Amino acid sequence: MNNDGGLQGKGRADSPAVAEGARFSRLAEVCSALRATSKRLEKRAIIADFLKGLRNDEVSAATLLIVGRMFPETDKKALNLGWATIKKSLGGTRQATLEMSPLTILEVQEALRRIAAASGEESMKAKRRILDSLLGRASDEERDVILQNIFGEMRHGVNEGVMLEALADASGADKESVRTANMLCGDIGLVAEVALTRGAEGLRDIQLSLFTPIKPMLAEDTGGDFAGALKEHGGRTAVEFKLDGARIQIHKRGGEVRVFSRRLSDVTESVPEIVSLAHKFKGDSMLVEGEVVAVDRGGRPLPFQDLMRRFGRVHDIEAAMAEIPLEPHLFDILYLDGRLLIGETYESRWATLASVAPPDLLVERLISERTEEIEAFLRRALEEGHEGLMAKRLDGRYTPGKRGKLWLKIKPAETIDVVIVAAEWGYGRRRGWLSNYHLAVRDGEGFAMIGKTFKGLTDQEFEWMTKKLQGITTSDERWGVRVRPELVVEVDYNEIQKSPRYESGFALRFARVKRIREDKGPGEADTLDRLKQMYEKQFERKGRVAEP
């Protein structure tokens, strides 16, 4: 894709500042402006105006840096910088800025690429030299943005969805074309460059390429409201077992098979049994989606934590296969022998999937119009150790990278009453509120932490919580406050896991505040002993392996 057309003729390169390369300070100013507003439309306008003022070859880098990516999602480069190295560079002497030219956006991106590329015995020294030089040339504001990129916390409330909308605003292309192009190539920087230089026509040229992972469609959570899901889908829906596993996409062309995770990582070497099963698919080339679960010797699903121990394994795979076998459950197909299927209905895609994959590999599903039938199907899913159900609209298209009501999660959540013992200041939309809460259960005379969450509350509740917590603060920290353990909240969660991170030895997976329990005092919060009992109770329906 060339950079000769598009917006190049709109005067974007006429400014001397742009001709020599856009200064990184401009990007830092944009990030500051984004932090100063909570309004989505204003954020989009700020980004669009900024990107339209850049040279074509700067758009990709600027887009990635604003969203805090540094590298495309499909590019698995990593800086591999420890806190000790970063701290030393931060403590170094600032270079004489009068003798140095200002940092440009492309220089920052190139420095980060060189840090990621450094390897060998002297790699840490090389990384440190590059980082010293980069931070030494940066102003305080520029340093903050660079460090936020390194730590993956931009704190300005611009997620990928906001950026994609801003790209549509800047280029004049429709949002769906921008989103689809991003799903197909997994590189929001490339999408930005194409959108601003070649518009909607250029975006249409971005096609699916096998062995390049694509961004998956997402679902919205309904709690346990299967009646609401049925109504949302027009009175008839397809419900599938919602498995407590890891989402995968299987790419196959001829005899070659690659498997990618939900986060677009190549996990092929870790899942040889999945590769072997994929060779049984009918058809020469395809992209199939599914969920992989870990099972015990009796075929019962194992907890997610055990799956993750196996899923990232790259050594002693045969021993791992014997200890924690994996099973795939397929639920969608997006490409088959030259045909892109995301524009077809779910019902049509399922029929295609059923024609190419062995029936025993398809996820358990039911099409129904009756709530009592769906409720019975849900009970069966839970009894077999699964999370719940996925309800899918029969005439729904595949909407990449987007969470919507075409797919709905139906799963009853467990709840536990916990005490807030500390809170962190939020950022982006939650800026100015104490909104990331440290959760603890009673443990003898004290409290033992079991996790954190910022999910579940409304803006009004965040504001109320902030005032309440400030009133019971025992110490102010740079990151937030420690508080007297007085405020009780009811939290729902997906699973209790063993965790060395917290003194309790446990952590809640996907914790979410369900309601503030002003009617309860800290002495009525759940205990660590009860948490242990709840942890053990999970295995009534799940398998388990020996503790690592």
Return the ∠ at Cα 477 (arms to 476 and 479), rounded to 5°. Answer: 130
Q: Which of 43, 215, 242, 252 is catalytic?
A: 242
Q: Between the CA of residue 167 and those of 32, 133, 156, 174, 426, what are the distances in Å?
A: 19, 32, 17, 9, 26
Q: Is 56 in contact with 8 (CB distance < 8 Å)? A: yes
DSSP SS3 for 9: helix
Q: How many CA atoms, within 13 angstroms, populate the side-chain half-sphere of residue 157?
A: 21
Nearest one of 537, 535, 542, 545 to 505, comparing CA atoms: 535
Q: Which two tokens stand for residue 194?
A: 């194409």
DSSP SS3 for 415: strand
Q: Is 182 in contact with 401 (CB distance < 8 Å)? A: yes
Nearest one of 200, 10, 189 to 109, comparing CA atoms: 189
User: Residue 40, Cα to own-chain centre: how many angstroms?
Assistant: 20
Q: What is the CA radius of gyration of the chain?
A: 25
Return the ∠ at Cα 245 (arms to 255 and 535), rounded to 5°. Answer: 155
CA 160/CA 165 separation, integer angstroms: 9
Has 76 been annotated as catalytic? no
Question: Could you tell me the end-to-end alpha-carbon distance of the chain, in angstroms, rounded to an integer?
Answer: 50
CA 490/CA 512 separation, integer angstroms: 9
Longest dimension (CA), the chain: 75
CA 363/CA 181 separation, integer angstroms: 28
Nearest one of 67, 28, 47 to 145, comparing CA atoms: 28
Q: Is 12 in contact with 170 (CB distance < 8 Å)? A: no
For residue 188, give every residue at least 6 positions away whose Cβ sits within 8 Å of its Cβ, in sequence order, or none: 63, 64, 67, 69, 72, 73, 160, 163, 164, 182
Active-site residue set: 242
